[in-house]
A and B are shown apart, each in its own frame.
Chain A
Amino acid sequence: EAQVTQNPRYLITVTGKKLTVTCSQNMNHEYMSWYRQDPGLGLRQIYYSMNVEVTDKGDVPEGYKVSRKEKRNFPLILESPSPNQTSLYFCASSFGPYQPQHFGDGTRLSIL
């Protein structure tokens, strides 16, 4: 089954404790991206990747890191999480930036 898998689905943690949210897709997509969703603000793109070892900033990259060492994986790293990063996070993939996006089921992060 074609899918985008995010883990964990839910996480409560404390300020400053490094965390990684994994994202994996099995559709051989080249384009992958991360979004955060906050009430009243819709979805905002954090980072995107056009292909392996090619990443670029979206609209809200501060406080986040990404890497794309393999085509199927695109982890989101919060080196020193802060409460303002409490949000619902989505990973998405597609064959290209102008192709239909396929979303994971989301990861709800709470930073205390």
Chain B
Amino acid sequence: GIQVEQSPPDLILQEGANSTLRCNFSDSVNNLQWFHQNPWGQLINLFYIPSGTKQNGRLSATTVATERYSLLYISSSQTTDSGVYFCAVTISNFGNEKLTFGTGTRLTIIP
């Protein structure tokens, strides 16, 4: 099956810092999503981004499908950004609608 690797596994930053989270995947995909799991365990969809670049406030994401990676940028970090960030993909294969998650990046923002 498809391999989804995220880096770094852990990241600790001071409030106000910027960060870049990476998601590498081993096969062609037609679906890539970024999620944030907050400290209370809730999973929030951040971006649906199979290709290209999107921005939402302090967050932006870029997927380069031909090179099989996606990046999530967080600028001017706040303590509420803490939690685990997951990327998830579906491979480009008709009849396969499974969503595969990476193991996540745990982000801790220190006041």
Contact = CB atoms under 8 A, between A and B. Distances in A.
A50 B96 CA distance: 11
Given A98-B50, A100-B45, A44 B30 contact: no
Contacts of A44: 101
A58 B41 CA distance: 22
Interface string B38-77: 0001111100101000000000000000000000000000
Interface of B is mostly: strand
B90 interface: yes
Contacts of A105: 41-42
Contacts of A74: none
B97 A56 contact: yes
Interface residues of A, number: 26
Contact of A33 (B30, B48, B99): B99
Contacts of A92: 43
B1 A59 contact: yes
B48 A99 contact: yes
B98 A101 contact: no
Contacts of B103: 40-42
A42 B33 contact: no
Interface string B1-28: 1000000000000000000000000000
Contacts, number: 58
B98 A106 contact: no
A92 to B, nearest CB: 8
A41 B33 CA distance: 18
Among B30, B45, B90, B103, the one with the most A-chain Cβ atoms within 10 Å of its Cβ is B45
Interface string A90-108: 1010000111111101100
Contacts of B42: 103, 105-106
14 contacts: A42-B86, A43-B86, A48-B98, A48-B99, A50-B97, A59-B1, A99-B48, A100-B48, A101-B33, A101-B45, A101-B88, A101-B99, A103-B35, A103-B45
Interface of A: 31, 33, 35, 40-45, 48, 50, 56, 58-59, 88, 90, 92, 97-103, 105-106
